[in-house]
Amino acid sequence: MARTIAFRDALREAMSEEMRKDPNVFLMGEEVAEYNGAYKVSQGMLDEFGPKRIIDTPIAELGFAGIAVGAAQNGLRPIVEFMTWNFAVLAMDQILNTASKMLAMSGGQLSCPIVFRGANGSAGQLGAQHSTAFESYYANIPGIKVISPSNPYDAKGLLKAAIRDNDPVMFMESEVMYGEKGEVPEEEYIIPIGKADIKRAGKDVTIVSFNKMMKVALGAAAELEKEGISAEVIDLRTIRPLDWMTILESVKKTNRLVIVEEQWPMCGVSSEIAYRIQKEGFDYLDAPIRRITAADAPLHYAPNLVAAALPDVPRTVKLVQEVMYMRK
């Protein structure tokens, strides 16, 4: 039976259920224990699991990421919460040079089962240093997986899969989605890593997105329907590994592709998708692949500049209209 719960509650359920099953799983990060989490994701977990498994850390991301890597190499399964992925830049050395490479450098002898999770991307007027989307940064690294869910149901099922995975997993959440609600079953379920989801079926154009930009994609699809354009909307859910075949099969049907992402345009997720689909599905395209991204600039504080910099429904609709009336 499904209940309606908040995104933060879905994450908490996923972590708590896995911790009850496996004593090697623990959570560490800034304010996760005594304060119940900066976004209240870990609320009540200290009371249930105690201070040896719900661990407050200093404001030292490089340090506690290193502790987690060492713990993972010795049989534990850490979940590391970063208050924001912007702060996790400080932990990049441990993620890039140790966690992602240990399996290869040890000849398959040492795995590194860690979940690094926390708030990612823009969240309104937070200024340039707290508004970066990092999916493409980490998706560039062999040896890790990158997950970026858009709703409570996917978040819970994917986080459980991530905790059980033997590779390092970057779990990208959104600060503005923690309070959003959705239906989540009471019974246990797992969503496989690496499988995209068709959130809306359509026949005229494929729109691909992930994380909170799915609101833009679905909003655009609803507007396009009013003028008789049927858009198929695909939620990537996992950025690495990327489910190319779901996108390709959709493009075979619709013959058009538009990608919506929050990241900067240079070397983004949309760039990789566009390359792969034109390489493997060029003959199915009736119009050039188009994308809408964040502006190629730091995100400023002023609300009008935030609105101007990020993808929105009207611009996405306009882009789809352009590809609908092009000819190969």
The one catalytic residue in 13, 18, 81, 130 is 130
The residue written with tokens 């980490």 in the block is 138
CB atoms within 10 A of CB 167: 17
Longest dimension (CA), the chain: 62
CB 319 within 8 A of CB 287: no
Q: Contact 98/69 with Cβ under 8 angstroms? A: yes
User: What residues form DSSP beta bridges with 56?
Assistant: 29
Q: Which of the residues 13, 18, 30, 61 is marked catalytic? A: 61
Three-state DSSP class for 40? coil
β-bridge partners, 54? 27
- Its sign, for the CA torsion 163, 168, 49, 158, is negative
Residue 61 appears among annotated catalytic residues: yes
Task: Give the separation between CA 10 and CA 4, rounded to whole angstroms.
Answer: 10
Q: Which of 167, 152, 173, 172 is nearest to 14 (CA)?
A: 152
- The residue type found at 262 is E
Catalytic residues: 61, 130
